[in-house]
Amino acid sequence: MILFSKKNIYFLIHLVTFVLLFCTACLKTDAMELISPNKKIKVEIQFAPKNDSKFGQVSFKVDYLNEHTKTEVLPSSPLGLVRKDQPFSDGLVYVSESKPFLIHEEYKMLHGKKSNGENFCNEKTFRFKNAEGSPIDLIFRAYNDGVAFRYSFPNQADSAFQITDERTAYSIPNGTKRWIQPFDLSYEGYFPLNTTGLSDKKEQEWGYPALYQKDNLFVLISEANLSRFNSATRLCNKENPQLYKVSLPSQRSDYQTTATSITLPWKSQWHVLMIGNLANIVESTLIGDLSEPCKLKDTEWIKPGAASWIYWANNHGSKDYQKIVEYIDLAVKMNWPYVLIDWEWNVMGNGGTIEDAVKYANSKGIKPLMWYNSGTAWLGAAPADRLLKKEKRIKEFEWLNKIGVYGVKIDFFAGDQQDMVNYYIDLLEDAAAHHLMVNFHGATLPRGWERTYPNLMSTEAVLGAEWYNNNDKLTPRAASHNATLPFTRNVVGSMDYTPVTFSNSQHPHITSYAHELALSVVFESALQHFADKPSAYLDLPDAPKNFLKTVPTAWDETKLIEGYPGENIIIARRKGDKWYVGGINGTNDPMTFKFNPSFLKKGSYNLQVIKDGSNDQSFETVNKKISKKDTIEVKCLPRGGFVCVIE
């Protein structure tokens, strides 16, 4: 008979546990899987121990499953984080995985591309431990139109920690078509077609969203649901042009990354890959689906709408009371609910002050919006430093409530680091408490706050019409750039491009008038700032002028009809029972669009088409009856466009 002491029993228990853990880890060289509800998207989480060790690296890949084919839309790509106190990257061991469970949540949006949201996916959590025994969870979701994942540290702890690096990366093979913006803190750049992954910037940094094509499928990479415990990130492929690593933000003055301070338990933002055909990409609401639900109890005061805007045609116009009156009167005549009073209003003269201008606007039934410097950089633009400190900010917002202002445009932010993320959230929460709508300029890319804080009406983060004032580079590229933005930047959130400018600012247009008109539908922004001078709108023919008086800025439904990045797009948006269609030609050659309005229900409809006339500064209008089976044909000039109203 063999007798075991209590000490020997404990030893055997630990030995068996170790052997089982080691064997389990070895077995996990086979991929773990999660499949979307429609069975078309499969994500594989791969764990590969190194050198006969139980420790290894975690990676993932994504396949798109058609009826008879499988397309690898994302090759095997690494995962992992580095915390200052310990790494969670290549020295991990598999622990467990949860059973998949279905998430099905419906929600309402006050503005955006779609009023009814649906968060519908399968979710699974994979737990690993590092060499020190600390756990990290990988939470994956498979949607019908994409994949999302986040990191989580489930342990409780009293002390603070820092995230110093992220090892997540996306593998995009050489030769793959991609449209990615070289990184700039303002996100105001082009999305040039690229097949090499190389740029002319030594840092090789890239901003979200990043679009690439795999066979007939597309993937759009971004992120969602930033909290106070996250920094916004970017992509960097400096070490390998075909591997885009998720990187922490840098300070404006150098390229030294800043750590993210956290307490445990902690979760990262969601890393997002929208996947499918171009319609799946353009129509996707994944950024909103993954974001926190609305935190505002009262939202009746939040009203999307169009605004007249003075800056584009009159850079220093907000200093001039009489000029502001002209734009208020323009808003009245065009049936636009808002006027945006831009920088230098604090030194307004020529017959009135800012309070006089606000009073005049309200007397005409127009709601004024006002510009502010965020106070974090470029403090020369006035008024400066009224919002950075909470005490000043609350005092300023109370004054705006008192005089009758309905929203603020806040400009010039200093980066994507954690303190800036906190500042954005502070601004949104304090503005909401004072029933003020918000438009961020010179700011980070939208990452889902429009759902959580629906008083965020729009964000610039785009190379828009304002750049006609800055240099001559937009003039030859505008048409192609405009035909790229609906597939990239505008997919992830409202975009304050300040569109529909017919006259020339400091540098000329070569897009047609009908192209410019179409941007009011092609581009989505809950506050749509029409930027031209009053005469440019008031002198329009009746059809385009009446169109601009009534075109919505928030939509119930969005459908991509056809298009390709940089070449062309036709997009249909519904508000109530009425459909609006916008189409633009991004090329220098004439183009004929032919499409069926298959999005319509059965019946007869009135169709109005406003399109290019005999030259790029004229319009032609066609009115007729159609059904969903009819073909609509529209001829466009080079860099031309059109709009349709169907009711």
**Which pair of tokens denotes residue 645?**
């109203």
Per-residue confidence (pLDDT) for residue 29, from 0 to 100: 43
Per-residue confidence (pLDDT) for residue 626, from 0 to 100: 98
Per residue in 600-613, pLDDT (tens digit) is: 999 999 999 999 99
CATH 2.70.98.10 residue spans of the chain:
10-289
Per residue in 259-294, pLDDT (tens digit) is: 899 999 999 999 999 999 999 999 999 999 999 999
Contact 223, 208 (CB under 8 A): yes
Contact 146, 43 (CB under 8 A): no
Per-residue confidence (pLDDT) for residue 257, from 0 to 100: 59
Query: What φ, ψ does residue 221 adopt, rounded to 5°?
Result: -100, 130
Q: Which residue has the tokens 């853990």?
A: 21
- The packing angle between helices 390-403 and 418-433, to 10°, is 30
CATH of 10-289, one of 3.40.920.10, 1.20.1730.10, 2.70.98.10, 3.30.830.10: 2.70.98.10
Q: Tell me the helix, strand and coil percentages in the chain, rounded to 5.
A: 20, 35, 45
**Which whole-number Å values give the CA distances from 644 to 163, 271, 623, in the listed order?**
50, 37, 10
**Which whole-number Å values give the CA distances from 178 to 91, 220, 644, in the listed order?**
32, 10, 31
Per-residue confidence (pLDDT) for residue 394, from 0 to 100: 98
One-letter identity of residue 139: I
Q: Which is the CATH superfamily of the domain at 473-491+505-523+553-647?
A: Golgi alpha-mannosidase II (2.60.40.1180)
Per-residue confidence (pLDDT) for residue 50, from 0 to 100: 81
Per-residue confidence (pLDDT) for residue 331, from 0 to 100: 98
Own/partner pairs for 546-550, CB < 8 Å, 24+ apart? Answer: 547/517, 547/520, 547/610, 547/643, 547/645, 548/306, 548/334, 548/500, 548/517, 548/520, 549/334, 549/335, 549/336, 550/335
SS3 of 341, please? Answer: strand
CATH 2.60.40.1180 residue spans of the chain:
473-491+505-523+553-647
Angle value at C-alpha 78, between 233 and 143, nearest 5 degrees: 75
The greatest distance separating any two alpha carbons of the chain, rounded to the nearest whole angstrom, comes to 107
Per-residue confidence (pLDDT) for residue 13, from 0 to 100: 38
The whole-number mean pLDDT for each consecutive block of 10 residues of the chain, a chain of 647 residues, reads 42 41 43 94 93 89 93 98 94 96 98 98 98 96 98 92 96 98 96 95 95 97 97 96 94 58 96 98 98 97 98 95 98 98 97 98 98 84 92 98 98 93 98 98 97 98 96 96 98 98 94 98 98 98 98 98 98 98 98 97 97 98 97 98 98
